[in-house]
């Protein structure tokens, strides 16, 4: 093979660039190798589930004596699922079941998942402690939060003549949040249907501060934030379908009277990630210690048999969701755990 | 091109109708703000109507050096020019009807590339228009994201591309089945006495392994393609005036800057009648690709059986093997529903905060064999073996700089008289939206 001068020069330049690129690749590999030995488990998703996963991550890191790192972010259930279904996270925290759109996104990128109910939560509707309102019906909550209320329902008295004459200011979950999806479906009858003239946030502490600072403010978030801030905000008793009002508490969630705002919350685990021993060990650690971790985070643990079912699903790598892409307000955990798992939306 | 004219009218009518639907829908709800993905993308409040302008520009600087032992085929030059410049639109009129229309604008003229209407059914999608939907993966993968500046040359030799017709696609998360019937390209001029060719195509793909985790993807792709073509026998008068009958089998070296094709069955053509051209042919292509983390290994084997215009039957073959390493660690982005690769997003695109984009190193072996013994002689189209090295840098997802070196070893071209080598170095600058 004879090479002309131009070709030799060009070939030399190409080879030099290829060598530079290879060196760049080696440098990258070395950079990664510097952190090798410390496998990082990546978790993202619901801010509601965040306190449990954070506690699980901390205890697992201690158990592994620094050989594994666990990072837990709280992009919201929707934002977390976008990353999870692109294969960017190992574990997804979710305060509602996976939707049909998210199921298709996971399917299209080859992400199979195990659905694990991890705890009960009670969405708590909170007001300023000085507000005289003690209880509220779901119908009145709908008057406040439905899209038609936007710009029109601005005073408590417009909702119910027995309520005080106070300007109404609202705090709630951001639209990427599973809490937002669940609350809007349970109260307004359709997920994501909500007035938008309220203060949305993924940080529930913002809601606590807002409600604590305004006499006429109302907000909603998971029960753990309420139980941590009982001196600053007060939870309303919720009356549903003419029944007596019930306040959120571990007891009312366990005995099934806090409806329709009690809900299971979930972990979703990437099946392929379970081939990495640290991920499998972490999920086992999470489920084995779930009762303690959930109580520490001020949520309500599921029955022990539910965690056993979760462990079996992990061992068998039983992929899919019991919800088929739709939420199911009011379903019991026993019923949910007995349903067949599907990876394709059922409708 | 009778049916092509019909297709053109149908597609334009559909696009016009779609605009009307969109206007009606736009009145019912305020539209959300546009979403920016290199170009603004619009949708109505329900997401039923979508619209996006699309396009691509690729500009090549290249050096060509062909050495055929002092014959007239010797050449050495450096040039630069536009390889592709396209502008078009895509979107959906309703969730059931989608469209894409893109045209090449080069040299003062315009030709259609993809021009298709898609009906999204419950079980299958139906495509009508000028499309490459039914082609093998090497042809189907967009020029915006191919790992080498040119596609493997067997695609050119065996005439894959965009053609007008109709077909259907069935898909699952990790499989696809597509079948279509097509004629000529929608851009072909109408010529008296020239018949519309007929093509029937089937493609099936399956990814038995398809996983993705933060540590990278693990994907195995398998695919098969079958194509039957019939040139439908142009009339003698058309052959006399247009000088073509049947299918040609020929390819340039790696690098489209070459005007010459050194392997070609059209050697020594008598007036209006090539030495060897296909009357009907069958093309079989097997595809395999494996992704493990940042590494992609892919290969295609193509085999064509030809019944020639002159009666002698021959078979030609081609294929390529690729090794591509994303030095920056990203996994290649595979689509199980279409059985092809799409854009790999840079893990750290260059932004005001830093980042270095996606850097790729690729190696390819590419073969086209157009020589075969036939009854009463031998078809001497030649054999081309190309060895290609690529270094690609995508600072952001929609901008790329791609440096390729290709060494082409050519034997037995031009009726067995042309043997030599050709080297091509090309630097491509591209962006798309």
CATH number at residue A57: 3.40.190.10
Instruction: Please indicate, yes or no, if residue A5 is contained in any of the structural domains.
Output: no
pLDDT above 70: percentage of residues in chain A: 89
Q: Do B213 and A3 lie within an 8 Å CB cutoff?
A: no
Res B387 pLDDT > 90: yes
Is A347 among the domain residues?
A: no
Residue with more model confidence, B160 or A326: B160
pLDDT (average), residues B214-240? 87
Does a structural domain hold residue A154? yes
* Residue percentage of chain B with pLDDT more than 90: 66
pTM score, two decimals?
0.83
**Candidates B35, B148, B215, partner chain A, best to mutate (most A CBs within 10 A):** B215
**Statement to judge: residues A31 and A75 lie in one domain:** yes
CA distance B123 to A269: 30
What is the model's pLDDT at position B10? 44
- Higher pLDDT among residues B170 and A333, named by residue: B170
Residues B65-88: b if buried by 16+ CB within 10 A, e if exposed: bbbbeeeebeeeeeeeeebbbbbb
Same domain, A268 and A321: yes
Last residue of a domain, one of A254, A280, A306: A254
Q: What is the mean pLDDT of chain B?
A: 87
Instruction: Kindly state whether residues A180 and A236 are assigned to the same domain.
Output: yes
Q: Is B219 on the interface with A (CB under 8 A)?
A: yes
What pLDDT shows up at residue A217? 97
| Closest C-alpha to B23, from B51, B2, B1 | B51
Do A35 and A142 share a structural domain?
A: no
Co-location of A117 and A144 in the same domain: no
- Read off the pLDDT of residues A28-82 as tens digits, 9 standing for 90 and up: 655 555 555 689 999 999 988 999 999 999 999 999 998 999 999 999 999 999 9
Same domain, yes or no: A148 and A102: no
How many whole angstroms separate alpha carbon A195 and alpha carbon A110? 36
> Does residue B12 have a pLDDT over 50?
no
d(CA B316, CA B157): 9
Residue B123: HSE in the Cβ half-sphere, 13 Å Cα cutoff: 0
Half-sphere exposure of B392 (CA within 13 A, CB side): 28
Q: Measured between alpha carbons, how far is residue A124 from residues A137, A204, A221 in Å?
A: 13, 12, 6
Task: Name the residue facing B359 among A2, A24, A109 (closest C-beta).
Answer: A24
Residue A191 is predicted with a pLDDT of: 86
User: Which chain B residues are within 8 Å of A110, Cβ to Cβ?
Assistant: 173-174, 207, 210-212, 217, 219, 334, 336
Which pLDDT value is given to residue B429? 97
CB contacts, 8 Å: A88 with chain B: 214
Residues A185 and A95 placed together within one structural domain of the fold? no
* B67:A89 CB<8 A: no
Hey, are the CB atoms on B65 and A4 less than 8 Å from each other?
A: yes
pLDDT at B258 over 80: no
Same domain? For A98 and A135 the reply is no
Q: What are phi and psi of B249, to 5 degrees?
A: -125, 110
Judge whether A22 lies within some domain. yes
At B189 the pLDDT is 79
Residue A3 resides in a domain: no
Chains A and B form CB pairs within 8 A to the count of 96
pLDDT of residue B1: 46
Looking at residue A327, its pLDDT comes to 83
| Domain's final residue, options A225, A254, A283 | A254
Domain count, chain A: 2
Assess contact for B216 and A32: CB atoms under 8 A: no
B197, B146, B144, B140: which is closest to B169 by C-alpha?
A: B140
Domain that holds residue A246: 124-254
Minimum CA–CA partner of B78 in chain A: A6
**Chain B from 59 to 78: CB within 8 A of any A CB:** 63, 65, 67, 76, 78
Asked whether the predicted pLDDT for residue B261 surpasses 60, the reply is: yes
Output the CA torsion B337→B340→B342→B345 (10° steps).
Answer: 90
Quick check: helix, strand or coil at residue A282?
helix
Same domain, A68 and A17: yes
For residue A191, cis peptide bond before it (omega within 30 degrees of 0): no
How close B320 comes to chain A (CA, Å)? Answer: 21
- Residue B167, both tokens: 């077909």
Same domain flag for A104 and A202: no
Query: Is A39 a domain residue?
Result: yes
Contact indicator for B386, B412 with CB cutoff of 8 Å: no
Contact residues on chain B for A10, CB-CB shorter than 8 A = 63, 405, 423, 425
Which chain B residue has the Cα nearest residue A10? B425
For residue range B63-104, list pLDDT tens digits in order. Answer: 999 999 888 788 899 999 999 999 999 999 999 999 999 999
B222 CA to chain A: closest CA distance, Å?
15
* Averaged pLDDT for residues B329-339: 95
For residue A338, give both structure tokens: 């007995």
Block residue for tokens 């210690």: A289
Same domain, A133 and A250: yes
Mean pLDDT of A259-288: 96
Residue B49 near residue B34, CB atoms below 8 Å: no
Q: Under a CB-based contact definition with an 8 Å cutoff, are residues B309 and B246 in contact?
A: yes
Instruction: Give the mean pLDDT of chain A.
Output: 90
- Using a CB–CB cutoff of 8 Å, tell me whether B343 touches chain A: no
Same domain, A280 and A200: no
Q: What is the pLDDT of residue B276?
A: 81
Q: Which of A254, A274, A306 is the last residue of a domain?
A: A254
How sure is the predictor about A342, in pLDDT bands with cuts at 50, 70 and 90?
A: very high
Chain B positions in Cβ-Cβ contact with residue A42 (cut-off 8 Å): 214
Q: What is the pLDDT, as a whole number, of residue B37?
A: 76
CB–CB contact B403 A14 (8 Å) = yes
The pLDDT tens digits for B164-178 are 999 999 999 999 999
| B264 against A219, higher pLDDT | A219
**pLDDT score of B35 more than 80:** no
A69: tokens are 């790192």
B336–A87 CB contact, under 8 Å: no
């Amino acid at each position: 093979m004879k090479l002309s001068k131009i070709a030799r020069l060009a070939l030399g330049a190409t080879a030099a660039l290829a060598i530079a690129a290879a060196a760049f690749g080696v440098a990258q590999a070395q950079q990664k190798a510097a952190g090798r030995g410390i496998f990082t488990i990546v978790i993202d998703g619901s801010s509601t589930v965040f306190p449990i996963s954070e506690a699980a991550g901390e205890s697992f890191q201690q158990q592994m004596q620094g050989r594994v790192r666990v990072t837990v972010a709280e992009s919201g259930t929707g934002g977390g699922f976008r990353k999870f279904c692109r294969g960017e996270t190992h574990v997804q925290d979710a305060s509602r079941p996976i939707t049909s759109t998210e199921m298709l996104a996971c399917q299209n990128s080859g992400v199979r998942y195990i659905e694990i109910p991890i705890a009960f939560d009670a969405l708590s509707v909170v007001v300023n402690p000085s507000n005289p309102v003690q209880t509220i019906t779901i119908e009145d909550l709908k008057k406040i939060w439905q899209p038609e209320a936007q710009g029109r329902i601005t005073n408590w008295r417009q909702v119910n003549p027995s309520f005080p004459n106070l300007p109404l200011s609202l705090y709630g979950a951001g639209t990427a949040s599973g809490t937002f999806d669940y609350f809007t479906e349970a109260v307004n009858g359709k997920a994501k249907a909500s007035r938008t003239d309220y203060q949305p946030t993924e940080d529930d502490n913002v809601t606590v501060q807002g409600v604590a600072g305004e006499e006429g403010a109302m907000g909603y978030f998971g029960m753990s934030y309420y139980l941590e801030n009982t001196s600053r905000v007060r939870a309303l008793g919720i009356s549903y379908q003419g029944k007596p009002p019930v306040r959120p508490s571990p007891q009312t969630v366990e005995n099934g009277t806090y409806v329709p705002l009690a809900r299971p919350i979930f972990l979703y685990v990437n099946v392929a990630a379970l081939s990495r021993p640290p991920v499998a060990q972490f999920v086992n650690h999470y489920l084995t210690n779930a009762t303690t971790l959930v109580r520490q985070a001020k949520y309500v643990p599921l029955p022990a048999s539910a965690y056993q079912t979760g462990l079996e699903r992990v061992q068998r790598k039983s992929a899919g969701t019991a919800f088929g892409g739709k939420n199911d307000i009011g379903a019991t955990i026993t019923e949910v755990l007995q349903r067949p798992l599907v990876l394709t939306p059922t409708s | 091109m009778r049916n092509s004219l019909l297709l053109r009218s149908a597609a334009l009518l559909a696009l016009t109708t779609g605009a009307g639907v969109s206007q009606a829908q736009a009145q019912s709800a305020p539209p959300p703000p546009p979403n920016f993905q290199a170009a603004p993308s619009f949708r109505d409040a329900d997401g039923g109507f979508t619209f996006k302008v699309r396009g691509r520009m690729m500009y090549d600087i290249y050096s060509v050096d062909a050495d055929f032992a002092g014959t007239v085929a010797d050449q050495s030059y450096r040039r630069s020019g536009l390889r592709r410049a396209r502008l078009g639109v895509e979107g959906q009129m309703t969730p059931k009807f989608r469209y894409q229309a893109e045209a090449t604008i080069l040299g003062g003229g315009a030709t259609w590339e993809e021009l298709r209407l898609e009906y999204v059914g419950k079980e299958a999608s139906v495509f009508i228009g000028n499309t490459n939907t039914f082609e093998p993966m090497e042809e189907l993968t967009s020029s915006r994201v191919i790992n080498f500046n040119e596609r493997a040359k067997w695609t050119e030799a065996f005439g894959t591309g965009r053609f007008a017709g109709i077909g259907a696609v069935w898909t699952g998360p990790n499989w696809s089945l597509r079948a279509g019937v097509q004629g000529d390209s929608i851009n072909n001029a109408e010529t008296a006495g020239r018949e519309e060719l007929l093509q029937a195509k089937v493609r099936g793909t399956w990814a038995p392994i398809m996983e993705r985790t933060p540590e990278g993807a693990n994907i195995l792709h398998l695919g098969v393609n079958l194509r039957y073509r019939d040139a439908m026998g142009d009339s003698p008068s058309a052959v006399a005036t247009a000088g073509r009958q049947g299918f040609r089998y020929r390819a340039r070296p790696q690098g489209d800057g070459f005007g010459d094709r050194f392997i070609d069955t059209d050697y020594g053509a008598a007036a209006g009648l090539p030495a060897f051209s296909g009357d009907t042919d069958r093309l079989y292509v097997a595809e395999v690709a494996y992704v493990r983390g940042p590494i992609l290994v892919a290969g295609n084997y193509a085999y064509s059986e030809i019944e020639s215009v002159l009666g002698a039957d021959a078979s030609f073959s081609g294929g390529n093997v690729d090794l591509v390493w994303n030095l920056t660690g990203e996994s290649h982005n595979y689509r199980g529903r279409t059985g092809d690769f799409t854009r790999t997003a840079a893990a750290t695109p260059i932004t005001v905060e830093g980042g270095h984009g996606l850097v790729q190193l690729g190696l390819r072996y590419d073969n086209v064999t157009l020589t075969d013994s036939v009854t009463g002689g031998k078809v001497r189209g030649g054999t081309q073996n190309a060895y290609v090295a690529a270094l690609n840098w995508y600072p952001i997802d929609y901008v790329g700089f791609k440096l390729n070196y290709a060494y082409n070893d050519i034997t037995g071209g031009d009726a067995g008289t042309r043997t030599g080598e050709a080297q091509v170095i090309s630097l491509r600058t591209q962006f798309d939206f």
